[in-house]
Amino acid sequence: MHITNIYPKIIIRSIAVLFILFLSEKNVHAQCNGHESLCDKLYDEVAYLTTHNAYNAEQDDFMAANQTYGITQQLNDGVRALMIDVYDENGVPTVYHGFTFLGTAPLSANLLEIKNFLTENPNEIVTIILECYTTADAIEQALTDADLSDFLYAKNGDWASLQDMIDANQRLVIFTDVDDASPMQNWYHYVWNYAVETHYSVHDTAEMVCDYNRGNAWNDLFIFNHFITNASFGTGLPLEAETANSNPFFINRVLECQAVHDKFPNFITVDFYEKGDALQVVDVLNGVITSTLSVHEETVYCFPNPASNLLTISGIDDIFRYELHDISGKLWQSGSSNGTIQLNELPDNIYFLNVQTNSAQYHFKVVKINH
């Protein structure tokens, strides 16, 4: 046995272990909601893929569903905010959409899914937006029973950064549409003190406008409702969802409304989230490029639309050629651009924009309005 050879080996092994621990610790804080670039952003500076009536899923045997998959798969696929309707059924907080015969589940089942996800994914933040027909006390008890109390975030002053929320393990944010919280329930945020929304009762893409509905324009958060429901029953429509959720319509509408209100859209709320490009839209807003859903190799966006003086074309790296025709076919403007087109000299009208690159053509309908 050579004593003199033992210590160098021990030292080398110790250094290796410390190096592995260092890398492990670094990786724990390497990303926030999937991306390192989001860590330093405040909660209200981030966009979250949001599911309308998240519990109302075909996978969980709900009829007239708004979602295909249940909450666990939603969270695993990148959904980070869940709209949930909660009723009092004989003292039990219960989720369903309007009528119990279409399907029900105890809220506790949804909360257990959320608890499991947060436990297994320590760098993720989840938001619940409740349409509530029970009391704050009943919700608090359900959260306590699900062992979620320690995860609750309470806004105190400015919104925290995602990294600060992760470091404190306060990674569950709850909003409600009923203002009945006690002073001790400061984690139970009355949503219309914090958010403004677009209209939620929309039955066709033509009705998807940027007008505000509930909430005050100066509130920090923007709930961007982007789903189409049956006009008679308010149920989800899969085919219409695929149309609404697909680019360029989806991203153009989001960017248009962001420009109109000068307000960052936070909760991008959809039905059948896996159809179309919902996660890609959220990634564009967050300035990240990774996406696990349908992503086109090259997607070109035209915004704002309607436009007044300046039109931006994104998604093309090189200089492109363009033409602007009115609905009669008259050519009003043409030229080359590296990303922006001046519209100052054009009268208010509807125009057709043709964009030509070396490898592809793109066509947009543009509305010119002097604001």
Q: Using a pLDDT cut of 90, give the percent of the chain over it.
A: 66
d(CA 116, CA 268): 24
Average pLDDT over residues 167-171: 98
Angle at 199 between CA 198 and CA 204, to 5 degrees: 120
Average pLDDT over residues 92-100: 95
CB of 103 closer than 8 Å to CB of 61: yes
Where residue 141 falls (left for φ over 0; alpha for ψ -120 to 50; beta otherwise) is alpha
- Max Cα separation, the chain? 95
Task: Please give the pLDDT value at position 299.
Answer: 67
Task: Please give the pLDDT value at position 137.
Answer: 98
pLDDT higher than 90, residue 365: no
pLDDT higher than 50, residue 26: no
Lowest-confidence segment of 11-20, 143-152, 160-169, 230-239 by average pLDDT = 11-20
What structural domains does the chain harbor? 38-295 (3.20.20.190), 303-368 (2.60.40)
Helix (H, G, I), strand (E, B) or coil at 315: coil
Give tens-digit pLDDT for 287-336.
Answer: 885 433 333 345 677 877 778 888 888 878 889 999 998 877 789 999 99
pLDDT higher than 70, residue 28: no
pLDDT higher than 80, residue 27: no
Any idea of the CA torsion for 331, 337, 340, 345, to the nearest 10 degrees? Answer: -40
DSSP 8-state secondary structure symbol assigned to residue 35: B
d(CA 222, CA 304): 18
d(CA 352, CA 330): 10
Average pLDDT over residues 206-230: 95
| Pairing state between β 310-314 and 301-303 | antiparallel
Give tens-digit pLDDT for 274-287.
Answer: 999 999 899 989 88
Q: How many residues does the chain have?
A: 371
pTM reported for the whole predicted model: 0.74
pLDDT higher than 70, residue 349: yes
Least Cα distance to 253 among 215, 311, 209, 189 occurs for: 209
Listed in sequence order, the residues at least 6 apart from 262 whose beta carbon sits closer than 8 Å to its beta carbon are none
Task: Please give the pLDDT value at position 136.
Answer: 98
Average pLDDT over residues 200-214: 93
pLDDT higher than 80, residue 41: yes
CB of 124 closer than 8 Å to CB of 162: no
Residue of higher predicted confidence among 305 and 243 = 243
157 CB burial (10 A radius; 0-12, 13-18, 19+)? exposed
pLDDT higher than 80, residue 215: yes
DSSP 8-state secondary structure symbol assigned to residue 87: E
- For 230-254, b/e burial (b = at least 16 CB within 10 A) is eeeeebbbeebbbebbbbbbbbbbb
Helix (H, G, I), strand (E, B) or coil at 60: helix
CB of 163 closer than 8 Å to CB of 40: yes
> Can you read off the two tokens belonging to residue 327?
């609905």
Task: Please give the pLDDT value at position 291.
Answer: 39
Task: Please give the pLDDT value at position 289.
Answer: 59
What value does the mean pLDDT of the chain take? 87
